[in-house]
Structure 1
């Protein structure tokens, strides 16, 4: 809770700007005094007052403001209530952050919003919430790639680290964190007992105790001139700026600001930043072409302890790894068996499998990682193996090479051509540019792969990892409890990056193994030698295990035969196993001479780890052969396919650098429409045989599906840059919509008013055009609704608008037109994966190539506003300690992992928009063209009988 208090001096840098009124109050009413000052500052008498920082210059706030139910000191959470009971007043609140300047040893304050009103009123106050002292911020609010799969942004104009959703731990482990963590959920910054003095509520700050509360004081001030306060942090240009008090973007005229504010108040809830004008996204992930030298594959097996068992009350932390997790506690999962396989890419003889069974297997696994980091660094990373003597074929390859094997660009002369070799094996790799060769360094990252890391395995050992490893931990969070990935950096510089194979291959390990040919299980074969054909077929299939039965460690020894079939029942899914699965488990037990359940779990774990290794290595080899990129260098399939697309197409996508262009495009983003127009329909026709009733009217039901709808849309002409607003008086007036062809080198987004004539309402009743985000009757939540209402200021792609006009809608007015350059730059990549999909030999490959295409569309629709900021800290006091983050006004919530670790989620105060969302918006609109065309042709033109659409889900197929 972050409250206003009595007077706190402004930093000298802010005082010098003469933009803030800091009222010297002695009570906890700084918020009220600042609001009164804002209301009265427009008054002529108020302007003449020199002592604007004195409370005596204003009437007491309690005589002007409605404070019913408001408790002082004021908190951010109470401001919405204050605005509700004072309907003529609106409030924005800003904070100061101390950041390093570009010059050495310089620091400056940055202003960012932390609370923005939902509706700006006539009486409006911009307040600055300052604190007693400031620490330099770590700049983690800026976002980059959803998966952080390499920085593809050229010259994005930001000097901070661009790790999306990332956070880092403090490496020092202070002993006072345990005591401090007890304050997190009980913290309440309350004043001492109220005392009446001259009809004012006055408080003595000296009475505030630090016991049981975070001892940080805040104070509200009035911002009398926002432009003067933030102008220099936005631009060094000294011309007069009209600044938007929501997104902190500036304009050179009042009219432009007013036009901008119409959209801004609906979309922006914090400060926004943009790359420099002209910045582009292009392929730069050359390092990710290099196969990772080492990959670790791991898995755990767990005891499933009943959460209602009273004997478990002694367990302080649950299986999710979080002491105060929001999850419902159904079972406690306690790991008892751990195994991993180290795969070496350049020398398979180095690869090995290792396992350990015991209730301390989590500690064992973390200790193994620490040991591996030391061993691998000393043996392979500390020294570079010189290049071996080249064979005649390799020499011929080098002399005849005309293109660099790294960047694939041609050599200008023989001087810049050098020999590139593997620094681990010494083998020649190809001819390269000298600069490319120097930058093509060996990766210091070792991927650690688990199947379902985010949802399961990661929670088992992350506490132990944080406790034992003293290095920095970077998070890529979904939220404060679930992570896409996390990376530990050891003192020697090696990084172990934990990734989830399920985010690349969205299938169970059982299905993935069933799709593979037996000849591809090279790792399984190498670690299960001298097996009969029957035994190999058994072990290369995902095993069956009685998880619910294994609720105590003693059963691993005492159970000397396979448990009965009823013990394989899964109480979580409420399913039993089939007779075939049970017979498989029984055959495995007998064929491998299993003595007890412990040995069975060892075999089950080993086969799981090795099957995962074989499946993912096969996936890596396939991707390397097709896309020349190693997927383990990425966090997930979307990041991988996005980079592969940039590499294959060689496209350069311009980044938006104009706030109005961004909001214009965002308003045009409307997803697939899913609706049920008729709740029930029953077929009745002669093809139903005995169920046909000739006395009733005939009725037919048909299910229609459009395959590869989004693939088709992505193959069309799409924007890639050259954004330009058309002039209202000349270009828009002369703009002829139907003269623009679908394959024109210029495309357009239009903001228009459309009328839906009543004469086509019946025809369009079951599938109206131009869906829009609106609140359904009786709901406060916006949905995508297809209605027959006329549309106002509707943003639409020109081809979609052409279709709407053709189908009978009337174009009444054009407000704005955004022009862009376009081409079919994505078509070749879509066609490549579509062709590979048709050549696929199993269901997994067919689904995989479909996902690879669709994931490109997903990346173009990445919503940076939803990215999370999570801090992972291991100490209480000091810079970047838990107390520092929790005391920030943008603190959101926290999860305690153990006495030494806490995850803290922060509200975003700043967003860097560096994604080409205009591509996704156009793909959505173009896909609706083909969808509507298909429905129109099939339902309204091809059939003579009356056709009714009663269910319309748009699915990506």
Structure 2
């Protein structure tokens, strides 16, 4: 008997050439299809002591596999051969009693497959074309995906639908250089392009991200790049009409009721001209207070969130333990010096050396509980009363550094020249100690979770500087820097280190933002402290 009739690998190897040729011909005719292989075998089984037997034909098949290009056929066939051999071996090892007589025949099964992918030109639906908002290049090849990318990155003024308008030498090139200098990498991609290969294109071109939509009586989202929508980690729900995103189906449904009613309103002719009117914002804000807090981070025990719904898990409670502030006056520094002098006197006489108080009697405790006016803070009442007597409004503009500068404080400080660190130098002088402070320090936020730890007489180990929020550990160089700062500034307890760390942060922040203010005032003639956010500043700078 021919050994190939007993060996599945040999049997399928003989069948490989005619099957592969048939599959290639099918691909040329259909452009895409799915196939699998059924291998039929004859088995025999002894059923009693008289050696009576029964013969049965059994089949071993594979899952359907989609084919879209010729180079996918051979790997798919080899993979199916391995699957069939593995199934046969598993069947015979189960002590079923069946013994192989011979391989009878092999069947090739084909299914129609119409994948969603780019192909040659298809006219835009009338509903889309009437909007005159989409470019649909009339290509006569299989590279419509390339033409769509090219038309987006190299916009032309006339005949947007013609391929000749984009001045492409050879659309089949793997790397295409546009006339405006943009380079598009299509290396290794097969065309017409499959939807699953769009992510490969994005990896080849990191500055490009693709959103894909389909149309079948209405516009439907097929593939959206999440990073363009939100940095939120929970599930999002997107409106098909306007592409706004929401974090629950209820909010999406509420929005959809009004979405179709939203229309753009054109401004009236008398209001169609933009003019700069905020001339007061060209003057300096007289007082700017740079401040920061430090907190004890106490862990919070909470239940496990439901992964099926959007939720926020509270990990820690922030309990303020220290604050520092620096007042920048753009007029007379003597006012600040006077304020600092008063604060020093108050600190020395009332905080550093608090007056001892006698234990209250029962009558005094009763009077204290029933009191409606706190005499200790009566000066605060007088202070507010005096402020109220001043003519004009007293306004405060709260500003977060991140609203204008998105880099870390450490990175921003490194961008400054030594001469720009005027505030830090004014406090610590131009000394060796100053060089230790002209960079962002490190602090064991997670470790400081109680007041007692602020009385410890040394820094904790490097492992205690691990940051849960960023999931990063303290580098050895940063830890050695912290040890050096502790030593050079004669820190006795953790409270000393916290005070120095907080004070330095505020002084560095002052220098960074004051430098930013100077740049904006020199270039745009505007003080950033007159604005809440970057868009407001940018808008007035444009005008």
TM superposition score category, shorter chain reference: 0.3 to 0.5
* Structure exhibiting the larger radius of gyration computed from Cα positions: 2
Name whichever structure is richer in helix by fraction.
2
TM-score by length of 2: 0.41
TM-score by length of 1: 0.24
Name whichever structure is richer in strand by fraction.
1
Give the structure, 1 or 2, with the largest relative contact order (CA under 8 Å, sep 6 or more).
1
